[in-house]
Amino acid sequence: MDLPGPIHEILMLFGGFVLLLGGLGVVLLNNPIYSAFSLGLVLVCISLFYFLLNSYFVAVAQLLIYVGAINVLIIFAVMFVNGSEWSKDKNYWTIGDGFTSLVCITIVFH
């Protein structure tokens, strides 16, 4: 991007600051979901740096491959392996569950 000097420097400093905070979040947060979201923020900031360096293809590839696929895969794996304690303790049947079951039964027998 052909940005004026001060705007380019402000974006670089902002991206670096958010990158450092995101990296600390990856390491220091106890909840793995929050840590994975923080990793996504770090990867988006790296993509911002590629945009600022006029490397658009690498920036878009960074967003699509790492943020769009790898980070979503990490979050899915953590959520799949790490079952919530709420679902183990109680068995709640909600209106949404009933409606979904009704729609599925209707589709099967239609």
Q: Looking at residue 85, what is its pLDDT?
A: 57
Q: Looking at residue 82, what is its pLDDT?
A: 63
Separation of alpha carbons 82 and 78, rounded Å: 6
**Cα dihedral sign, 8-13-17-20:** positive
Evaluate whether 40 touches 80 at the Cβ level (below 8 Å): no
Q: Looking at residue 51, what is its pLDDT?
A: 92
Q: Name residue, tokens 């006029």.
A: 54
32 contact partners, CB below 8 Å, separation of at least 6: 78, 82
Q: Name residue, tokens 């699509």.
A: 64
Q: What is the pLDDT along the chain (110 residues), one digit of tens a residue?
A: 677 888 989 999 999 999 999 999 888 888 888 888 899 999 999 999 999 999 999 999 999 988 888 888 888 888 777 665 555 556 667 777 788 888 888 888 87
